[in-house]
Amino acid sequence: MYRLRYVSPPPHNFSDTPPEPFDAPASLHRSGVARKTPGNPNRTDSPGSPMSLESDALRRIAPSATIAISAKARALKAEGKNVIALSAGEPDFDTPDNIKDAAIAAIRAGKTKYTDPDGMPELKAAICAKFERENGLDYKPSQVHIAPGGKPVIYNALVATVNPGDEVVIPAPYWVSYPDMVLLAGGTPVPVATTAENGFKLVAADLEKAITPKTKWLILNSPSNPSGAAYTREELQAIADVLLRHPQVWVLTDDMYEHLVFDDFEFVTIAQVEPKLYDRTLTMNGVSKAYAMTGWRIGYAGGPEPLIKAMAKMISQTTSNPASISQWAAVEALNGTQDFIKPNAKLFQKRRDLVVSMLNQASGIHCPTPEGAFYVYPSVEGLIGKTAPSGKVIKTDEDFAVELLETEGVAVVHGAAFGLSPFFRISYATSEDVLEDACGRIQRFCGNLK
């Protein structure tokens, strides 16, 4: 079944309570309180009850599973346990010095005031130059939106355009935040399952089946978090050909991991592949991953002027501008030396090869080789139904992740959090020594299952 109705997964408490099925018809909170999903008939609270503090929109979503697992790993570490967290999605190296220096210079020069809400002209100019230089895309400054991170860029686009009943097609596995941001915006996420055989990439026929007259957006993410899959020019063209037949559908392409591609893979983005989609594409990117700037909070996008104006209106009444100092740092990131980008990608490629090889030596695990990002998305199908030495039966990928964390101290994220089971995600943005240790523990864990 490829066209699924999204039901937000319950929050993860990592206790011994058996997990509810991911696609339970009414998403019942573990505490027994019904969470509101669109049209959820099981809602138990009434206006005026303590539960009514939370808005209907908020009760449609679940907290981020990746953040929950990282928090659990930190708590175990604080108890003195030897825990390796492979759950966080950020580069393990520091922001390059030229970028830090630009920020310090901005502070000293007093560039510490408000800027235009959706970004200052100097950064918009640097972004236009980047799109031209690296993607062959011609955007004017009036076509650029800047926000405090890539996440708010996506959120601003959805809130500015999605009406109740609008559908947003999201290939699964997906980055955890897409469906919940759609729900917050009042829309309906429509996950479309991909397969490991297709490299976790959306195929044209499945996209065609998922589109209805209510489809407003397709969200693409290449290279992908969580699978590392990246689309070739031909694969994007096949998707573009479907979209050309459905003029009501806009495309949001999340190119956050553009610079992390391996084995001479050529990164391309959909507006570049099919210029006829330029007028309905939002090309989103950011400095977080490529320049190790996750904490600086700068994301950006290029798109058609009416969409960018709508997003500017939205940001003018909410966050206003991202930190002026971070914007000056991002100017240097985009305009300054790019020398470290290729060596970094090489480093990540080496880590990918290590992890893929070691995981494929773990009994019951199959790990495909992804084209980019810093994640692998192995299958645990071969382990389902097996029993751990503790007596626990591994029924789901969440059982696998919980038991692995509790017995071997390795934190990974279960595939259900990304909408496709039975898999798990490893972030290999850490040193080879740590990765070897972690993969050795996973091998031992799998070997001990009966």
Angle at 375 between CA 374 and CA 379, to 5 degrees: 160
Strand-pairing partners, residue 423, are 379
The answer to whether residue 254 forms part of the interface with ligand PLP (CB under 6 A) is yes
Q: Which residue number, 286 or 364, has a Cβ lying nearer to ligand PLP?
A: 286
- Give me Rg for the CA atoms of the chain: 22
The total of other beta-carbon atoms located within 10 Å of residue 31's CB is 9
Q: Which residue number, 256 or 449, has a Cβ lying nearer to ligand PLP?
A: 256
Q: Tell me how far, at minimum, the Cβ of 48 lies from ligand PLP, in Å.
A: 36
Total number of residues that touch ligand PLP (CB under 6 A): 13
Start-end of H helices in 112-232: 121-135, 150-161, 177-184, 204-210
Start-end of H helices in 245-373: 270-273, 305-316, 324-335, 341-360
Q: Tell me how far, at minimum, the Cβ of 242 lies from ligand PLP, in Å.
A: 22
The answer to whether residue 256 forms part of the interface with ligand PLP (CB under 6 A) is yes
- Rule CB under 6 A: choose which of 150, 303, 322, 422 binds ligand PLP: 150
Q: Which residue number, 176 or 356, has a Cβ lying nearer to ligand PLP?
A: 176
Give the pair of three-digit tokens for residue 53: 């503090």
Q: Which residue number, 19 or 226, has a Cβ lying nearer to ligand PLP?
A: 226
Q: Which residue number, 99 or 256, has a Cβ lying nearer to ligand PLP?
A: 256
CB 214 within 8 A of CB 166: yes
Q: Which residue has the tokens 């897409």?
A: 178
Q: Which residue number, 150 or 364, has a Cβ lying nearer to ligand PLP?
A: 150
Binding segment toward ligand PLP, per CB under 6 A, in 144-152, 198-206, 331-339, 381-389 = 144-152
The answer to whether residue 225 forms part of the interface with ligand PLP (CB under 6 A) is yes
Contact mark string toward ligand PLP, 88..127, x via CB under 6 A: -x--------------------------------------
Q: Which residue number, 59 or 289, has a Cβ lying nearer to ligand PLP?
A: 289
Angle at 356 between CA 355 and CA 357, to 5 degrees: 90
Q: Tell me how far, at minimum, the Cβ of 443 lies from ligand PLP, in Å.
A: 27
Q: Tell me how far, at minimum, the Cβ of 373 lies from ligand PLP, in Å.
A: 8
- Rule CB under 6 A: choose which of 149, 171, 364, 378 binds ligand PLP: 149
Q: Which residue number, 180 or 403, has a Cβ lying nearer to ligand PLP?
A: 180
The answer to whether residue 288 forms part of the interface with ligand PLP (CB under 6 A) is yes
CB 209 within 8 A of CB 3: yes
The answer to whether residue 151 forms part of the interface with ligand PLP (CB under 6 A) is yes
Tell whether the torsion through CA atoms of 310, 6, 14 and 422 is positive or negative. Answer: negative
Q: What is the DSSP track for 23-44?
A: T-SS-B-TTSPBPP-TT-TT--
The answer to whether residue 299 forms part of the interface with ligand PLP (CB under 6 A) is yes
> Rounded to whole angstroms, how far apart are CA atoms 348 and 363?
25
Contact mark string toward ligand PLP, 35..74, x via CB under 6 A: ----------------------------------------
Residue nearest to ligand PLP (CB): 149
CB 36 within 8 A of CB 17: no
Q: Tell me how far, at minimum, the Cβ of 251 lies from ligand PLP, in Å.
A: 15
Binding to ligand PLP (CB under 6 A) within 406-425 occurs at none
- Rule CB under 6 A: choose which of 194, 215, 221, 253 binds ligand PLP: 221
Q: Tell me how far, at minimum, the Cβ of 245 lies from ligand PLP, in Å.
A: 27
The answer to whether residue 175 forms part of the interface with ligand PLP (CB under 6 A) is yes
Helices (H) and strands (E) in the chain, counts: 14, 12
Q: Which residue has the tokens 């390059």?
A: 96
Q: Which residue number, 117 or 286, has a Cβ lying nearer to ligand PLP?
A: 286
The total of other beta-carbon atoms located within 10 Å of residue 27's CB is 21
Tell whether the torsion through CA atoms of 381, 384, 386 and 392 is positive or negative. Answer: positive
DSSP three-state, residue 273: helix
Q: Which residue has the tokens 């495909």?
A: 368
Q: Which residue has the tokens 């390796």?
A: 84
The total of other beta-carbon atoms located within 10 Å of residue 357's CB is 12
Determine phi and psi for 392, rounding to 5 degrees.
-75, 135
- What residue ranges bind ligand PLP (CB under 6 A)? 89, 149-151, 175, 221, 225, 254, 256, 286, 288, 294, 299
